[in-house]
A = this chain, B = another copy of it.
Amino acid sequence: MKILIIGAAGMVGRKLTEALIAGRLPGTIDSLVLSDVVEASIPQGAPAKTRSVVTDLSDPGAAEKLIADKPDLIFHLAAIVSGEAEADFDKGYRVNFDGTRALFEAIRQENLKTRYKPKLVFTSSIAIFGEPFPDAIPDDFFHTPLSSYGTQKAMGELLLADYSRRGFFDGIGIRLPTICVRPGAPNKAASGFFSGILREPLSGKEAKLPVSEQTRHWFASPRAAVNFLLHAATLDTAKLGARRNLTMPGISATVGEEIEALRRAAGDKAVALIKREADPAVAKLVAGWPRNFDASRATSLGFQAEKSFDEIITAHIEDELGGKTG
């Protein structure tokens, strides 16, 4: 099997790469291409035919080159985050929408020539939804994004469904919850504090909390995100019909519930490292975000997330901290 990961240098891309190298998908990997706008490092144990390709999917010809080898399985994870897409309108549409369309179109042109028809897994986002919301957003709730990022993802979903319906590739789009605990340095996402208030105290550092403890949001761990991607890659898409885009399961939790899970994992000492610094601008932004979903469809198709915030913290301690806190 030939696999292409676009956006391989990002946090989810790196973890997915490791999972593939660890043999988490059935079958032998004949080649693995790690593509991103920066060099994706090739982990130890990677198959011989592993290449890192630095390219911008939205550059003319870039998509054609990426699929010239006709990968059987494509993970399209590449995107600029919501804050950046909102700050730079042109870049957001170019990278998040035109890049996606260029990929789909390159596959279509190859399909028309040679009947090439890969499996394609696309990461979408709960940012395709916009308030006001019902208590739990159902699978058939409409898509009214309140950000350019959400708009670009929703348009990508529509294209994916149409290109799949027309038989150009076999696509599935998965809407990731907010990933928590996100390891490493903060990125430009306004949602960063949801991870920061756990990640930093678990490493003995202070973290700022800009919103109230009542703030509720929708979460899954990086480990769950990789599991979603692997499950999507092997899922029989005949079960999806024409509705190829799915809200992934997750946990609806308040900041207060996050903090209590941190207390159970690492004690009062860790919790004391959270410094309340109200930021009305962040609070206003977050207030417009989804808080809870009924992700029945994905669950019935076998997608699984954590069942408690304790599990999310355990995943972080095991996967990032070698099993130790503080």
Contacts from A to B (Cβ < 8 Å): 89, 130, 139-146, 148, 151, 154-155, 158-159, 161-162, 165-166, 242-243
Contacts and interface: CB of A to CB of B under 8 A. Distances in A.
Given A158-B154, A161-B151, A143 B142 contact: yes
A166 B86 CA distance: 9
18 contacts: A130-B242, A130-B243, A139-B142, A140-B141, A140-B142, A142-B143, A143-B143, A144-B161, A144-B243, A145-B161, A146-B165, A148-B162, A148-B166, A151-B162, A154-B158, A155-B158, A155-B159, A158-B158
A107 B140 CA distance: 33
For this chain, the copies found in one complex come to 2
Given A155-B158, A162-B151, A142 B142 contact: yes
Which of A89, A154, A155 has the most chain B CB within a 10 Å cutoff? A155
Nearest to A140: B142
Nearest to A160: B151
A165 B150 CA distance: 12
A151 B142 CA distance: 14
A165 B86 CA distance: 11
Contacts of A158: 143, 145, 151, 154-155, 158
